[in-house]
Amino acid sequence: MVFDKKLTKDLDKTIFAVTYAVCAIGLLVVYSATYARHLPLGDSFLVRQAQWLAIGTLALAVVINVSYQRFIDLSYAFYGLTVVLLVLVLILGKERLGAQRWFSIGNFAFQPSEFIKIGLILALANYIGSRKDAMRDVRSFIVPVLLLAAPFVLVVLQPDLGTALLLVPILLSMLLVGGAQVKYLIGMIVLGVVSMPFFWHFLKDYQKQRLLVFINPNIDPLGAGYTIIQSKIAVGSGGLIGKGWLSGTQNQLNFLPERHTDFIFSVIGEEWGFLGAVALLLLYTLIVKRAYQAATLTNDMHGRLIAIGVFTMLSLQVIVNIAMTIGMMPVVGVPLPMVSYGGSSLIATLIAIGLVINVRMRRSTF
């Protein structure tokens, strides 16, 4: 693969280095979280995650090498493809733990909902970026809301409430940067809050139970509240410097469910302590800061919208995942970017970061 030498001088080496530092941490923590299973190396979660990392790296390289304007041109096609995959996964997908979100490909699972976030960002960047001042008219919200509605409903049906809700602030942030009036955005937020009691009736029983145990985990300490109780014990027991890698008792003695996926931050808190958790948060802060800077440095509205969409996606995923791990938000099943085990999430995140690097590299060419 050949890179334009004129553009490599603007390659954001900082976000690149920090991204792979987080990925390296992710491999270490995934290994620790699955160490007690004593799987053969070839079947281990570590090897699988490393394989997905290699594929994600290739995807990132492709994204960097192709102008983001090309992705804008293909945005509606990519968005449409991801929506079709969301429909198909409801028909042909593999069910796990009451949710139908994955296609099985050999020993791997592919989750389309992780890629709809990229598809939505690109489609919104195309539509909003091509209208600019027209976004001040409330009627111009119709198409962006429709672009959100289709994947939102399909993802909720899987059900994957966390990912579906994540799409909403992506839309709002991109509308704001695209020139929408704040009063209209506030109106949309108020409408969403007011309609929450209505949507309560459409939630699955386990989703309702998760919301109830968020208020009081002790109402079902051995059921829906068990994971969050064990997670808070793990994080709290880590103290300042942690118990050491592979030495967390909640982790290694199997007290903590789903510790290699949604609750992987609990492993970090227990084994790496407060200082390790803060170090990881600082790395994430650097990544989202560079994404925000990419939005401010470019004069092209399409590039600015892509960068702000990725900024919103990554920052909220980190906040929501950590908040639910320590009991400050309901459990909604949002992975910790580049750390939680999962190929679809890892590849989608690396593609998103590649788009940010792309915008920053070409900020002076449009």
Q: What are phi and psi of 119, to 5 degrees?
A: -60, -40
Residue 1 pLDDT exceeds 70? no
* Range with the poorest average pLDDT among 45-49, 177-181, 281-285: 177-181
Give 36-39's long-range contacts (Cβ < 8 A, gap of 24+): 36/251, 36/252, 36/253, 36/254
Q: Whole-model pTM? A: 0.92
Residue 9 pLDDT exceeds 60? yes
Q: What are phi and psi of 109, to 5 degrees?
A: -125, 135
pLDDT confidence tier of residue 104, bands split at 50, 70 and 90: confident
Q: What is the pLDDT of residue 61?
A: 94
- The set of residues, in sequence order, having a beta carbon less than 8 Å from that of 89 and lying 6+ positions away, is 100, 101, 102, 103, 112, 113, 158
pLDDT confidence tier of residue 44, bands split at 50, 70 and 90: confident
Query: Residue 260 corresponds to which amino acid?
Result: H
Residue 145 pLDDT exceeds 70? yes
Average pLDDT across the chain, whole number: 87
Beta bridge partners of 99: 96
Give residue-wise pLDDT tens across range 250-259: 888 788 888 8
| Average pLDDT rounded to a whole number, residues 178-201 | 82
Q: What is the pLDDT of residue 365?
A: 58
Angle of helix 226-237 relative to helix 301-325, nearest 10 degrees?
90
Is the separation of the CB atoms in 223 and 209 below 8 Å? yes
Residue 344 pLDDT exceeds 70? yes
- The set of residues, in sequence order, having a beta carbon less than 8 Å from that of 326 and lying 6+ positions away, is 231, 232, 235, 265, 269
Q: What is the pLDDT of residue 41?
A: 67
| Average pLDDT rounded to a whole number, residues 194-219 | 71
* Range with the poorest average pLDDT among 102-106, 115-119, 237-241: 102-106
Residue 132 pLDDT exceeds 80? no
Share of the chain above pLDDT 90, in %: 52
| Average pLDDT rounded to a whole number, residues 92-107 | 72
Share of the chain above pLDDT 70, in %: 88
Give residue-wise pLDDT tens across range 71-88: 999 999 999 999 999 999
Q: What is the pLDDT of residue 7?
A: 61
- What is the SS3 assignment for 219? helix
Residue 189 pLDDT exceeds 90? no
Angle of helix 75-92 relative to helix 142-156, nearest 10 degrees?
30
- What is the SS3 assignment for 300? coil
